[in-house]
Structure 1
Amino acid sequence: MRVHNSRHRFLARCVVPMVAVAAAAVAATPATAADSAAWTVRGPSPAPPVSASVTLDSDGALSLAVTHRGRSVLTPSAVGVETTAADLTKGLTFIRREDRVVVQNYVMTTGKQRVRHARSAESTLSFAGPSGARMDLVVRVSDDGVAFRYVLPDAEGVTVKREASSYTLPSGAPAWLLPYTPNYEATRVETTAGAAGAGDFGFPALFAVDDTYVLLTESDVDGRYSGGRLTHQAGTGSYAVKLADAAVASPGPLATPWRTAIVGDLATVTTSTLVDDLAPASKLADTSWVRPGTVAWSWLSEHDSPRDPVRQKQYVDFAARNGWSYILIDEGWDRSWVPDVVRYARARGVEVLLWFHWTALDTAQERDDTLSLVKSWGVAGVKVDFMDSDSQARFKWYDDILRKTAELRLMVNFHGATIPRGIQRTWPHVMTLEAIRGAEQFRTRAATNTMFPFTRNVVGGMDYTPVAFVVSDRDTTDAHEVATFLVYESGWQHAADKPENYDSRPEALRTLNQLPTTWDETRLLGGRPGQEVYLARRSGQRWYVGGISAVPAKTFETPLTFLGKGRWLVETLHDGPDGLVREARIADAHDSLTVPVATNGGFVSVICEYTKGRSTCDQPVRRVPRTDLVVTPGQAQTRPGGTIDVRGTFTLPTGDPISDVELRVTPPAGWRVSGEAVSDKHLRAGESISGAWTVTADAAAAPGYVDVPVVATYRFADDPQRRPVHVEEAVRVFVPPPNPTGTAYVSDLPFLSESNGWGPVERDGSNGETNAGDGGAISIGGSTYAKGIGTHAPSEITVWLGGACTRLQAEVGIDDEVTESGSVAFQVIGDGRPLADTGIIRSADGARTLDVEVSGVRTVALRVTDGGDGKNFDHADWADARVTCA
């Protein structure tokens, strides 16, 4: 790439990253004073459908307008930026114009189109303000829209106070708008550009100007800036960009995000990849570990299930039977049992995803410790929730967690999040984002559902959590629910209902098992926002056609001209008079697909190449062979630097042979293993391989329990995913701390394990809320205590006594910080045996004294139950908890 000066070297290096094919720069074309008042930028096609016009008026103020096929769609509207050092919205003088064509070829891991080819024309218009401050307005035009950004080249840094960026549409233009909230979960409304109320609206915002549609949004937002939104002046068609922060600071030169208008007919807008085209290239050199897929998710249909490892294993079994790739364990999981569920799942070909509140990962130390820990368990990805902000600080946090998860090869789903702004191109391990009023709102409306493919889902993966038959407050049919899985694009599709509800609708489940979650090609076949939408998507050699409707019953018909040569088998699932109906027919590219669509209904068609005798497009789902891995010993104890001997035997009891079998120990960080992995090219039914190893503990091993995994990996024939199966069992090794001596407060002892019903367990403070240290002093019945443990039922803390102590004493009760009465029971468990139980204690009961004999006890667990009536307000204190020891 040729560049013309140092300022534009910055632009080329930092603003316009190329993939595969670099952009070619052309010579600068300085304008004279006579022609410096207006400039036009046209797309690179021979007959470009879209063009942008920039005007500098007599006051030195800039405006930008957009036309589509010669007709105005965005009339001249102010552009510019104001910093703390200069007002670059007026008094500008033109310096030069530079043009180039930007060509990009790149590959996505998710989305509506896997392989991307993008071509656009770009003009950089350079201006100086009254004080000499410089600003470049960079305008990029492609066949599907216009984008512009500002480049402020001040090497000393810059602080942006506001943008003048705005858009003006005909006041009568139909509009589909989202009242702004930072989680983008408000109900989208249908109105007009002028009739919309005054206030803020979230991106993306869709308008129709006659038969041309305009989708306004932004691209390439990260921690160098803050997110934007639109603010509307009532009674006008004008919308201005408003930043989340009052000031956005950059330590050096700044290139702002792209202000983006996707422009064209409805099909062009719906299938546009412009937001990704404008984003920085992928930061990952290797994406082989990034795997989209279907996720079994329990929280929506049964909120308490993420606390139940037995129920989570049932979801694993369901996913394994149906070839689904993942389960998501949402809020409520506990580190005491998650590793076991992960091992159970992986042995069955299912990977586990874990939910986190973002505040559990908001510091570098938390991200290093927590994410590294769950990765060591074998977790494949994380769902991070409740960010609820478009501030620059929050985007810096996104940058940080994306770098760390990429380093650890953990895939990501952002919930309670902002919208995609090209993030899935730059960070290909981002599988999906919420930013949608999804099924978890428990109020499903067909009219709203049919807006999403034309608005929110245009800009990136959308975690709607589809196919929720469990939602009773819905006006959609069962076929509509199934079709959302296809019509909505998301790299991870979190199927939102319970196994029993899917099993009771076998035709729906059969269809879901055949649907991919990423696509090679997407075409809009028909529809209008708020009414209906029909899409064709291709994955490999197969086509999938689906639609959802919010209109009265009708027959949908579409030509099948997109099919290749030959004959095709078309299997269609739709609503029938007595439930879901599946029909099959043979067709070719000269035929049409005709489907009855019920009121607020939908359908899904799976289309595969027809061969003689073929009666279904169903492909076998991935089912992993049953194997056995036995590890001895099951439990062990060693001091730091000590050793244990480990043996493992891996067996294929029955079935077809497996291949590339390997058995090895994968020691924890800092631990060492002596002995080689054992392997076998093939293992037949009834055959085994065995290994023996000596494992040496880290000389600096912290007290507590450590899992030493023994892992078997293998491949099996006809695996559609062609990846190794991971089978793991672990030796549970206990590293004891020093025995306590004298009178020791429990809050000063190391915790061997801990779990808590809300937030972290607190030492010498009350439970508070979700952050460590956010409680107050421990207070029960008006008495305060300097020492103790603050918990929230259900909770359990285990500490080591080593047989050296004789008594455990504490004052226990509900903390005074709760606003309503709680109810709990305190229990003391010694080496697995019950030693004490207070029975139910309520807030009004004040403190109760515990005095428990613990002679000879090695480990003691302090447990709190919720009293049988739920955990609300169950802030339970172990005040002055102490042990008397030799």
Structure 2
Amino acid sequence: MRAHSSRYRFLVRCVVPLLAAAAAAVLPTSATASQTATTWSVRGPSPAAPVSATVALNSAGGLTLAVAHKGTTVLAPAAVGLETTAADLTNGLTFLRRTDRIVTENYVMTTGKQRARHARMAESTLSFAGAEGTRMDLVLRVSGDGVAYRYVLPDTDGLTVTREASSYAPPADAPAWLLPYTANYEATRVETTAGAAAAGDFGFPALFDVDGTYVLLTESDVDGRYSGGRLTHQAGSGTYTIKLADAEITSPGPLATPWRTAIVGDLATVTASTLVDDLAPASKLTDTSWIRPGTVAWSWLSEHASPRDPVRQKQYVDFAARNGWSYILIDEGWDRSWVPDVVRYARARGVEVLLWFHWTALDTAQERDATLSLVKSWGVAGVKVDFMDSDSQARFQWYDDILRKTAEMRLMVNFHGATIPRGIQRTWPHVMTLEAIRGAEQFRTRAATNTMFPFTRNIVGGMDYTPVAFVVSDRDTTDAHEVATFLVYESGWQHAADKPENYDSRPEALRTLNQLPTTWDETRLLGGRPGQEAYLARRAGERWYVGGISAVPAKMFETPLTFLGKGRWLVETLRDGPHGLVREARVADSDDALSVPVATNGGFVTVICEYTKGRSTCDQPVRRVPQTDLVVTPAQAETRPGSTIDVRGTFTLPAGGPIRDVQLRVLPPAGWTAGGATVSAKHIRAGESISGAWTVTAATNADPGYVDVPVVATYRFPDDPQRRPVHVEQAVRVFVPPPNPSGAAYVSDLPFLGESNGWGPVERDRSNGEMDAGDGLPLTIAGRAFAKGIGTHAPSEVTVWLGGTCSQLQAEVGIDDEVTESGSVAFQLFGDGRQLADTGVVRRGDGARPLAVDVGGVRMLTLKVTDGGDGKNFDHADWADARVTCA
């Protein structure tokens, strides 16, 4: 008894000062409390905390939650609770107990508006029993900038949630900035009021202005245990209710739902809030040293066809290298036949490569294992995954799976066609950004919409708007506005969306872009209102960066510089001038103000650095990697499993330098081995070289086909702002022949040594279908069905090994019946690079065209389909009954 009494006094001392609730409601050991309490209040973790929440139990046993800011209600009492297939926990509840604690966490982000985070929240758990005896805990957390709650169902072997009653009730006349719901969050955000909003569903986050106190509604900590939610609204009502993406959500055991989250405060508090991340699970990664935010050169928006062109991609690499940008993104259309070469070209110039994927190419464990391992072996640094377009529990389970795999492979991630961030960038720090925004790729840019994003979508996490797209002709923004989006919008990877020529033609814009970081130590709102203006100050290290975008008539923006430290500062501003972009600089201190003329729908970027005598610009040198040469011999080789090849490499610094910490080595593929030492040099000066020689042995179980044996040189160079090694690589292209075919062999049964396809994968014994492997139909041409063959989509190529042992190829070729409109293609055959046959244009309705071609002596046979000269739409091409006759 004595020990119990001592603990009781400790609880009273610690808990009562933190809470505004009556003492009887605080003490879980009080039987009277559990019988009589019907209202419970929770205030933030400090006595002066402005935010509080009140939970009430009504006479029907239903719960409501209200939120107040500085004593004024901003969210009126609104229902909370949920239903499962076994229990209705929206009414008939009985209070059991209350427990309280303070949650304090410190963590560091790899991306975002603030690197180092400090979270402190008061947490209260209110336990209830439903009419069926099911226990439900309502867990509330209140911080200085918001309120969050979740449901915990602890005593179950499994359950199925069918509905949440969770709702919010801002005043009906509160101005609101809402996003009509679509699963990719790319609809146009609208300005309305809470009550006047149309009936229907709205996506998170949703922003309301309650007499100058802003409330941002969203959610945190959603993963595969649950589905994503959204808000649903009845016309004329101010109440918004949570609607789940799935009709049923299954849990195999105890369940803790996502946090229903309301960020509350003045606009500056809401904009700078990190509450969504604070509520999320801690990082699952212990080593984040390989994760690097940065600027990305991206070609798809300005040139849709460019991702199919390796020459053009190398031009983007050259542009990125000249300007010190960290990455290029090769979007939809790349081909595995040339990507490794572009990756090597880029890395030798200090630029890393990111690759685009449709999510269905990575939707199984087998696809993720094979594909991600392959691109990692090429040296790819990260992936952009697109078109998930779902908030279902199944899709969040897929997110869990691909995030675990990419983390294991040390591949960074950008999600497009995606859901919004719900704390994902804290839990998985290799997520650099997510789309979930109506970005520049919509080709209709409006200043009024742009100025909503900093106060809505971008508050909850990185936003891949793909900024600075001068190429968009349907825009009402100025050039300075476009440049400023790069700073005003936060994204760990900023995908600059225009072509090199458009940036080079605006040298002042490019000069500014080259100086802007993409992650921040601190962020402050300096002024603005959604749909009108947004002005932010961000700090990276000792430098400050101020940016603004406007959707109002021309004006003078002014702000005190009190956030600067002591001393004198050089303040350098890029803004709109009467004849284009202009740059201005002056010296100031923290007692001064920043005054910038802002054009109608304009913007500006200001860089602020420490002033020293004679300094005229804040520009820092951009990273430019020295040019080096790596020659590898032989360029090509052929070997059998278990056999060896001799490889040599010479690495040279033609001019400049010196470079240091140089290493030259061979990196054999998995299962292969290499004899010979790594060659090292502490320094290499201009004109000097190092060389190495190795004996490489193929794996005894080496798969047939082509494999690269890379020779790699790494080095560092003086004054590198990123302080990381440069990777230079060339490879010996080694061919491992498969067994020679014999007798009558169907081409669809042979190993494919190379394949490419205009849409989805090449299909064996089925038509092309859509994006997924195996989704085609039986091969059918003009009503004739074929059991064997290859289904492709122009343009396509398939290469198989004949080994010089076959005499003839026979096939029936044509457009598959699965297409509903006319396609046109041409079928071609190549033997060892020499054209053997060309059908000319074949159209839908022509029927199956017989093909018989002499392939005597051919080692490599390539079956190629072109688009017939009129584009690739509906070009589903069948090599039906394709077979070779061999010795």
TM-score interval, smaller chain? over 0.9
Task: Look up the match of 2:78.
Answer: 77
How far apart, CA to CA, are the structure 2 residues paired with 1:495 and 1:868? Answer: 33
**Aligned positions of 1:187-266 closer than 5 A:** 187-266=188-267
CA contact (8 A) 1:29 1:98 kept: no
1:860 Cα deviation (Å)? 0.9
Task: Look up the match of 2:307.
Answer: 306
Task: Look up the match of 1:482.
Answer: 483
Aligned-partner residue type, residue 213 of structure 1: Y
1:814 Cα deviation (Å)? 1.4
Task: Look up the match of 2:819.
Answer: 818
Per-residue Cα deviation, 1:288-341 (whole angstroms, up to 9, x for no partner): 000000000000001111011111101000000000000000000111111111
How far apart, CA to CA, are the structure 2 residues paired with 1:609 and 1:698? Answer: 58
**Aligned positions of 1:72-221 closer than 5 A:** 72-221=73-222
SS across alignment from 1:331: coil
Per-residue Cα deviation, 1:579-612 (whole angstroms, up to 9, x for no partner): 1111111111111111111111100001111100
SS across alignment from 2:502: helix
How far apart, CA to CA, are the structure 2 residues paired with 1:802 and 1:131? Answer: 73
How far apart, CA to CA, are the structure 1 residues paired with 2:36 and 2:107? Answer: 38
**Aligned positions of 1:505-544 closer than 5 A:** 505-544=506-545
1:835 Cα deviation (Å)? 1.3
Task: Look up the match of 2:686.
Answer: 685
Aligned-partner residue type, residue 217 of structure 1: T
Runs of 4+ aligned residues of structure 1 deviating over 6 Å after TM superposition are: none
**Aligned positions of 1:393-542 closer than 5 A:** 393-542=394-543
Q: Could you tell me the TM-score, scaled by structure 1's length?
A: 0.96
CA contact (8 A) 2:217 2:261 kept: yes
Task: Look up the match of 2:20.
Answer: none
SS across alignment from 2:722: coil
How far apart, CA to CA, are the structure 1 residues paired with 2:155 and 2:493? Answer: 42
Aligned-partner residue type, residue 43 of structure 2: R
Aligned-partner residue type, residue 319 of structure 1: A
SS across alignment from 2:462: coil
Task: Look up the match of 1:549.
Answer: 550
Aligned-partner residue type, residue 455 of structure 1: T
Aligned-partner residue type, residue 446 of structure 1: A
1:66 Cα deviation (Å)? 0.4
How far apart, CA to CA, are the structure 1 residues paired with 2:608 and 2:312? Answer: 36
How far apart, CA to CA, are the structure 1 residues paired with 2:864 and 2:470? Answer: 38
Task: Look up the match of 1:602.
Answer: 603
Identity %, equivalent residues:
84
Matched, 1:385 2:386: yes
How far apart, CA to CA, are the structure 2 residues paired with 1:33 and 1:720? Answer: 62
Matched, 1:794 2:795: yes
1:844 Cα deviation (Å)? 3.2
- Paired positions, count: 862
SS across alignment from 2:739: coil
Cα RMSD, aligned residues only: 1.1
How far apart, CA to CA, are the structure 2 residues paired with 1:689 and 1:811? Answer: 56
SS across alignment from 2:753: strand
SS across alignment from 1:813: strand
Higher mean displacement: 137-146 or 675-684: 675-684
1:33 Cα deviation (Å)? 4.5
**Aligned positions of 1:513-662 closer than 5 A:** 513-662=514-663
Matched, 1:56 2:57: yes
Task: Look up the match of 1:21.
Answer: none
Aligned-partner residue type, residue 499 of structure 1: P
SS across alignment from 1:151: strand
SS across alignment from 1:740: coil
Task: Look up the match of 2:331.
Answer: 330
1:833 Cα deviation (Å)? 1.1
Q: Could you tell me the TM-score, scaled by structure 2's length?
A: 0.96
CA contact (8 A) 1:802 1:859 kept: yes
Higher mean displacement: 593-602 or 821-830: 821-830
How far apart, CA to CA, are the structure 2 residues paired with 1:808 and 1:33? Answer: 84
Per-residue Cα deviation, 1:636-660 (whole angstroms, up to 9, x for no partner): 1111111111111111111011011
For structure 1, the 5+ residue unaligned runs are 5-25
CA contact (8 A) 1:27 1:99 kept: no
How far apart, CA to CA, are the structure 1 residues paired with 2:663 and 2:65? Answer: 63
Task: Look up the match of 1:806.
Answer: 807
1:27 Cα deviation (Å)? 8.0
SS across alignment from 1:368: helix
Aligned-partner residue type, residue 490 of structure 1: S
CA contact (8 A) 2:344 2:728 kept: yes
1:29 Cα deviation (Å)? 5.7
Aligned-partner residue type, residue 715 of structure 2: Y
Task: Look up the match of 2:13.
Answer: none
How far apart, CA to CA, are the structure 2 residues paired with 1:210 and 1:196? Answer: 18
Matched, 1:757 2:771: no
Task: Look up the match of 1:373.
Answer: 374
Task: Look up the match of 1:363.
Answer: 364
Aligned-partner residue type, residue 495 of structure 1: A
Task: Look up the match of 1:10.
Answer: none
Task: Look up the match of 1:22.
Answer: none
Aligned-partner residue type, residue 658 of structure 1: I
1:846 Cα deviation (Å)? 2.4
How far apart, CA to CA, are the structure 1 residues paired with 2:275 and 2:787? Answer: 59
How far apart, CA to CA, are the structure 2 residues paired with 1:126 and 1:817? Answer: 58
How far apart, CA to CA, are the structure 1 residues paired with 2:56 and 2:253? Answer: 28
How far apart, CA to CA, are the structure 2 residues paired with 1:633 and 1:656? Answer: 28
1:157 Cα deviation (Å)? 1.4
Aligned-partner residue type, residue 57 of structure 2: L
SS across alignment from 1:799: strand
How far apart, CA to CA, are the structure 2 residues paired with 1:380 and 1:854? Answer: 42
Per-residue Cα deviation, 1:522-570 (whole angstroms, up to 9, x for no partner): 0000000000100000000100000000001111111111111111111
CA contact (8 A) 1:28 1:99 kept: no
1:847 Cα deviation (Å)? 2.3
Aligned-partner residue type, residue 462 of structure 1: M
Aligned-partner residue type, residue 637 of structure 1: E
Task: Look up the match of 1:745.
Answer: 746
How far apart, CA to CA, are the structure 2 residues paired with 1:107 and 1:389? Answer: 29
Task: Look up the match of 1:9.
Answer: none
How far apart, CA to CA, are the structure 1 residues paired with 2:739 and 2:196? Answer: 72
Aligned-partner residue type, residue 292 of structure 2: R
How far apart, CA to CA, are the structure 1 residues paired with 2:824 and 2:34? Answer: 80
Per-residue Cα deviation, 1:154-190 (whole angstroms, up to 9, x for no partner): 2411211111110001100000000000100000000
CA contact (8 A) 2:27 2:33 kept: no
Aligned-partner residue type, residue 106 of structure 2: N
How far apart, CA to CA, are the structure 1 residues paired with 2:722 and 2:870? Answer: 45
1:818 Cα deviation (Å)? 1.3
CA contact (8 A) 2:35 2:95 kept: no
1:577 Cα deviation (Å)? 1.0
Aligned-partner residue type, residue 59 of structure 1: A
SS across alignment from 1:547: strand
Aligned-partner residue type, residue 135 of structure 1: M
Task: Look up the match of 2:12.
Answer: none
SS across alignment from 1:32: helix
Per-residue Cα deviation, 1:755-804 (whole angstroms, up to 9, x for no partner): 00000001111111111111112122222211111111111011101010
Task: Look up the match of 2:17.
Answer: none
1:34 Cα deviation (Å)? 6.1
Task: Look up the match of 2:271.
Answer: 270
How far apart, CA to CA, are the structure 2 residues paired with 1:832 and 1:367? Answer: 33
How far apart, CA to CA, are the structure 2 residues paired with 1:666 and 1:551? Answer: 58
Aligned-partner residue type, residue 686 of structure 1: G
Aligned-partner residue type, residue 291 of structure 1: R
Higher mean displacement: 643-652 or 834-843: 834-843
1:35 Cα deviation (Å)? 4.7
How far apart, CA to CA, are the structure 1 residues paired with 2:689 and 2:841? Answer: 52
Higher mean displacement: 83-92 or 265-274: 83-92
How far apart, CA to CA, are the structure 2 residues paired with 1:472 and 1:780? Answer: 44
How far apart, CA to CA, are the structure 2 residues paired with 1:128 and 1:789? Answer: 62
Task: Look up the match of 2:18.
Answer: none
CA contact (8 A) 2:34 2:97 kept: no
SS across alignment from 1:751: coil
